[in-house]
Structure 1
Amino acid sequence: MPDSTDSDVRSEAVQRRRMTVALVLSAALLGVAAVVIGAVTGGDAEAGSSTPTDGATTPSATGTATPRAAPAAPPAPAAVDTFDRNAHSLDDPASIWVVVNRDRALNPIDYVPDDLVDVPVAHTWDPQLRQEASAALVSMFEAAANEAGLYLASNSAYRSYDTQVGLYGDGSDPTTAPPGHSEHQTGLGIDIGTEGGCTFECMEDSPEGQWLRDNAYRFGFLLRYPADKVDVTGYPHEAWHYRYIGAELATRMRETGYTTLEEFFELTG
């Protein structure tokens, strides 16, 4: 039978081995835990030093916060041109945009507007215009008086084909249009002077003439024969002759720098 002493020795040895294994396992587990903790804390530190994605500032080298650049503003949308050049005919004599000059006759040549009305303004000869033009003229004369203390008058408005025949005569007057080629015959053209008696050339340097050059477009009127466009219109400069074309077109021409219907509608040449 085994000696009891040997049995005790073997039992003690087994216990020592078990303790050694337990110590080794504990050390191993502690090492793994240290690695994991280091990885976690290191990752947090690294994440903390990265560039913020949702903050308003970024740490600088000196530790102060540097404001982030504001995002660039989006470009303004391109302007859309809504002006319709085909809104009215350039050939129909009843159109407020009809273009008539030495080369472009009315059709029919003896055209008579069907909506002529007497214009209730100061005048030399009883003026008539088409209804729309008459209303605009009255508003313009009232504005000149109320805004600037200037008092305008009509010198000549609608003239019929037959009247133009008599005025034209032998054609020696370069300011007089041939019959059938006159803006006065459209019921949209008017010669404007002052209640004080200024009629034609004096309008060039008068306060009334200057006011009209600055403001007539607001009411739909155009200075029809500018001094620098004789070769375009075919007529000498007339500081007194205005033509109703409607506020939309008059304003558009003002904005774009065009001073003649021929150039705006590309009818030159």
Structure 2
Amino acid sequence: MPEIARPGGVSRPARHRLIAILAFVMLAAASVAGGALSGTTRSGTPHSAPASSTTPTADAPLASATPRPAPAALQAPVPVLGGTALSLEDPASLWVVVNKQRPLRPADYSPTDLVAVPVAHTWQPQLRQEASGAVVNMFAAARDEAGLTLASNSAYRGFAAQTRVYDAAVAARGTASADSGIARPGSSEHQTGLAIDVGAVSGRCSLNACFGETSEGRWLAENAGRFGFLLRYPADKVPVTGYEFEPWHFRYIGTDLAADMHERGITTLEEFFGLPPAPGYP
């Protein structure tokens, strides 16, 4: 996989220390404050994140020579990655971790900056503005670099839409089977406006595991990180994510975090931030 470009000019060691500090801060703050994590938005507006549905029990898998601060020193936001501390709890954060153990709070959250994504699609996609721009750039690169034409199969889905999708899956497959591939309402990454299901414009293997073997699926797996996207549900991490392999589902996390995850060879948000696995619902 090509090395992911690193914006901002911050040196690699400094970035790693900052990322490590952030992970330690988030874990300790979750323990001390019951999952609440304070930080600032990317615009610099202070916020207090909602309480976590789980308390992390494992240290983040990041090596650092920096001593861990005492708990009392971990309450203030820590400036990282361009001067902002991004929450794992706040649904508006680019780093929010949503899984079967960590539902959105509030459950009916809806982003305020949704925009149409001007790409080929099955259903007209919407994403948050930053993620939308990244999708446009990624689709253009696939065309220009590899002659591939990608299409959006699904992007933002609100609480009501996710309810319809989940209920239909339960009716067709039963609850256990539906839960292996469809998030329950309030627990879907699609509701954040940061996730997109990508396929080939031809429709070949759309929303199917065989998409990973297509030219489009292989290109995305190798290059999505350059544009800030993470293949969220890898084939070898089902016990961690709780979902079957989805080579079409990509989550926007920003190029900084995508670069650090790539460099460390860590493929899930749960493992990167030292959060517990989420194989099932409570």
Q: Give TM-score scaled by structure 1 length.
A: 0.69
Q: Distance in 2 between matches of 1:232 and 1:262?
A: 7
Q: Distance in 1 between matches of 2:94 and 2:192?
A: 9
Q: Distance in 2 between matches of 1:179 and 1:82?
A: 36
Q: What is aligned with 2:225?
A: 217
Compute the displacement of 1:103 (Å). 0.6
Q: Distance in 2 between matches of 1:268 and 1:147?
A: 38
Where 1:193 maps in the other structure, the secondary structure is strand
Cα distance per residue 1:155-206 (max 9 Å; x no partner) = 0000000111111114341210011000000000110001111212231110
Q: What is aligned with 1:257?
A: 265
Q: Distance in 2 between matches of 1:228 and 1:259?
A: 10
- Matched residues, number: 192
Q: What is aligned with 1:116?
A: 114
Q: What is aligned with 1:179?
A: 185
Compute the displacement of 1:209 (Å). 0.4
Compute the displacement of 1:125 (Å). 0.2
Higher relative contact order (CA 8 A, sep 6+): 2
Q: What is aligned with 1:142?
A: 140
One-letter amino acid matched to 1:255: E
One-letter amino acid matched to 2:270: E
Q: Which runs of 5+ in 1 are unaligned?
A: 1-78
Q: What is aligned with 2:94?
A: 96
Runs of 4+ in 1 over 6 A off after TM superposition: none
Larger radius of gyration: 1
Compute the displacement of 1:81 (Å). 3.4
Compute the displacement of 1:236 (Å). 0.6
Q: What is aligned with 2:252?
A: 244
Compute the displacement of 1:80 (Å). 2.9
Q: Distance in 2 between matches of 1:238 and 1:197?
A: 15
Q: Which runs of 5+ in 2 are unaligned?
A: 1-11, 23-84, 278-282
Q: Distance in 2 between matches of 1:203 and 1:251?
A: 24
Q: What is aligned with 2:15?
A: 82
Q: Distance in 2 between matches of 1:155 and 1:263?
A: 28
Percent identity for Structure 1 against Structure 2? 60
Compute the displacement of 1:255 (Å). 0.5
Q: Aligned to 2:157, which of 156, 159, 176?
A: 159
One-letter amino acid matched to 1:230: V
Q: What is aligned with 1:203?
A: 211
Compute the displacement of 1:82 (Å). 2.1
Q: What is aligned with 2:28?
A: none
Q: What is aligned with 2:45?
A: none
Q: Give TM-score scaled by structure 2 length.
A: 0.66
Compute the displacement of 1:120 (Å). 0.1
Q: What is aligned with 1:194?
A: 200
Cα distance per residue 1:48-78 (max 9 Å; x no partner) = xxxxxxxxxxxxxxxxxxxxxxxxxxxxxxx
